[in-house]
Amino acid sequence: MEQRSQWGSRAGFILAAVGSAVGLGNIWRFPYVAFENGGGAFFIPYLFALLTAGIPILILEFTMGHKYRGSAPLSFFRMGGKKAEWLGWWAIFVSFVISTYYAVIIAWAMKYTVYSFDQAWGDDTAGFLFGTVLKLGDVPGEAGGIVPGVAIPLLLVWAIAFFILFAGVKKGIEVANKIFIPTLVVIFLMVVIRAVTLDGAAVGLNAFFEPNFSELSNPKVWVAAYGHIFFSLSIAFAIMITYSSYLPKKSDITNNAFITGFANSAFELLAGIGVFAALGFMAVQQGVEVKDVASAGVGLAFVVFPQIISEFPGMNGLFGVLFFLSLVLAGLTSLVSICETYVAGFTEKFGISRNKAVAFGVGAAALISFLFATNGGLYFLDVADYFINQFGVAAIGLIEVVAIAWFFKKLPIFEDHANAVSDIRLGAWWKICLKFVTPLVLGYMMFGLMKLNLLKQFENDTGNYEGYSNTFILYAGWFVAAGAIILGFIFTAMKWNKNTD
């Protein structure tokens, strides 16, 4: 058996963990999630979820990876046998699904980096995105043909990911993060500084930070906060367990988790400030309100930002290039981390070489991702993302915490393990958060949300997400979500190769 890979330095590990955490989620997801869920008041559930769930679970996952020295399935297996192993595979297959469409968004960002030089999008930025770039079909659920303009940058994204992953943990992932993350911080700071010095920036920031406290009684807001924290910190996705399994024996755990968590939140806050400053500028230019120009998800980065860039005073090409390049860099380091979960899992389960695992695992993800580079690609992406986030992220996090704290009762052992190597000592707060606070608050809120949704169904007022047809929702949403669990069980049922223990 080959010797297990290891990080070359503490900074290498921290940069890789931060590289995974800081991603598309920080730049285009956080600003609109916060805005839609209470604005300034969102910081209450956000901070609550960060301090009682995000960082405690990050410490938990770092401890598991460090203690059991295995991919997520192997670490769970060593903790609790096959009864626990499936949790690792479930997380891996959710990561697998995310990697297939995450790569596509990075590919768009690459295209837009180039378009930025001469604002190729013209006046109708929405028409440009959906018509010219994505060549979106009319019927959700029909793939149509491959769109070369998306497929080619997508190939490039996968080529970069392959290149980094083939090179290994230390020579590939660590080196890439050491280059990409400092570069990202520098260019993103330039973007934010320019944005806050625009006319109207204050208007945007007021809109962003204005607290809407009445939203806090809505369970949706709390579930959104937990869901975002899990997504943003890359926890409950098998990633942080995998990355920490490459730590040398003598490595700090708790302090590293705090650094990673706060770095991610700092970046997110910065992104919120930059994005809303820019939105304020545009609202003032057009004489409308900020809420009328703020838009969700894909539309924010690829429809609204191009408009802002076009209206920019002086050097607008440069601003656009830096903005989209930030998306590319932040996305690539996260993509690599998601892929590493299944590379590690397949290597250990089947006793194959790293290169084979990269070729098969990442190859399969790359192949599937071309579904999102078709005429119907955006619809598939939209539904997959919605289902994974609505039914995957918070649920896996909750089940993971309850399983470890209550079913396998491992918190005291993990506490000792972390304390033996860390500067900061874990006390009662850590166990109380994981055992009581997170399960109670998150469980209660998820239950409340389910009830609200059921009631809505009852009153017949919703219909499906985005009005998509039942069959489309069924196979693009429910089948994918269920498929991740079923594959988890199938892989758990398979035998471990002889070389792994």
Residues that bind Na ion in the complex, under the rule CB under 5 A: 21, 25-26, 232, 264
Question: In this complex, which beta carbon is closest to ligand PHE, that of residue 100 or of residue 116?
Answer: 100
195 binds, among ligand PHE, Na ion, none (CB under 5 to 8 A by kind): none
Residue 289, judged by CB atoms within 10 A of its CB (0-12, 13-18, 19+), counts as: exposed
338 binds, among Na ion, ligand PHE, none (CB under 5 to 8 A by kind): ligand PHE
Q: Kindly tell me which residue out of 15, 18, 26, 180 binds ligand PHE, with binding defined by CB under 6 A.
A: 26
* C-beta separation of 335 from 106 below 8 A: yes
Question: In this complex, which beta carbon is closest to ligand PHE, that of residue 236 or of residue 449?
Answer: 236
Helix, strand, coil: what percent of the chain each, to 5? 80, 0, 20
**What DSSP designation does 426 have?**
P
What values do phi and psi take at 117, rounded to 5?
Answer: -55, -40
Residues 100-159 that bind ligand PHE (CB under 6 A): none
Rounded CA-CA distance 476/472 in Å is 6
Q: Kindly tell me which residue out of 14, 16, 17, 24 binds ligand PHE, with binding defined by CB under 6 A.
A: 24
Q: How many CB atoms lie within 10 A of CB 466?
A: 12
Q: How far is the CB of 235 from ligand PHE (least distance, A)?
A: 9
Question: In this complex, which beta carbon is closest to Na ion, that of residue 100 or of residue 232?
Answer: 232
Question: In this complex, which beta carbon is closest to ligand PHE, that of residue 95 or of residue 119?
Answer: 95
**What DSSP designation does 390 have?**
I
Rounded CA-CA distance 500/352 in Å is 11
227 binds, among ligand PHE, Na ion, none (CB under 5 to 8 A by kind): none
Q: Which two tokens stand for residue 494?
A: 């398979």
Q: Return all residues near 246 (Cβ < 8 A) that are at least 6 apart.
A: 4, 5, 6, 7, 13, 65, 169
Question: In this complex, which beta carbon is closest to Na ion, that of residue 254 or of residue 333?
Answer: 333
Ordered DSSP codes for 300-325: IIIIIHHHHHHH-SS-HHHHHHHHHH
Choices 17-25, 118-126, 316-324, 400-408 (CB under 6 A): range interacting with ligand PHE: 17-25
Q: Is there binding between residue 242 and ligand PHE (CB under 6 A)?
A: no
Residue number of the CB atom closest to Na ion: 232
Q: Is there binding between residue 21 and ligand PHE (CB under 6 A)?
A: yes
Rounded CA-CA distance 213/228 in Å is 19
Q: Which two tokens stand for residue 230?
A: 């899990």
Residue 258, judged by CB atoms within 10 A of its CB (0-12, 13-18, 19+), counts as: middle
Q: Which of 129, 170, 167 is nearest to 150 (CA)?
A: 129
24 binds, among Na ion, ligand PHE, none (CB under 5 to 8 A by kind): ligand PHE
Question: How many CA within 13 A on the CB side of residue 411?
Answer: 22
Choices 18-26, 42-50, 248-256, 462-470 (CB under 6 A): range interacting with ligand PHE: 18-26
Q: How far is the CB of 21 from ligand PHE (least distance, A)?
A: 5
Rounded CA-CA distance 263/233 in Å is 10
Question: In this complex, which beta carbon is closest to ligand PHE, that of residue 201 or of residue 365?
Answer: 365
Rounded CA-CA distance 30/33 in Å is 5
Q: How far is the CB of 495 from ligand PHE (least distance, A)?
A: 28
Rounded CA-CA distance 20/260 in Å is 10
How many chain residues bind ligand PHE (CB under 6 A)?
16
Q: Is there binding between residue 397 and ligand PHE (CB under 6 A)?
A: no
> Contact letters (x/-) for ligand PHE, 90-109, by CB under 6 A?
-----x--x-----------
353 pairs with which residues across the strands? none
Residues 330-389 that bind ligand PHE (CB under 6 A): 334, 337-338
Q: How far is the CB of 261 from ligand PHE (least distance, A)?
A: 12
19 binds, among ligand PHE, Na ion, none (CB under 5 to 8 A by kind): none
39 pairs with which residues across the strands? 211
203 binds, among Na ion, ligand PHE, none (CB under 5 to 8 A by kind): none
Choices 19-27, 185-193, 207-215, 473-481 (CB under 6 A): range interacting with ligand PHE: 19-27
Residues 221-240 that bind ligand PHE (CB under 6 A): 231-232, 234, 237, 239
Residue 416, judged by CB atoms within 10 A of its CB (0-12, 13-18, 19+), counts as: exposed
Rounded CA-CA distance 247/388 in Å is 29
Question: In this complex, which beta carbon is closest to ligand PHE, that of residue 100 or of residue 234?
Answer: 234
Q: How far is the CB of 195 from ligand PHE (least distance, A)?
A: 20
* Residue ranges binding ligand PHE (CB under 6 A): 20-21, 23-26, 95, 98, 231-232, 234, 237, 239, 334, 337-338
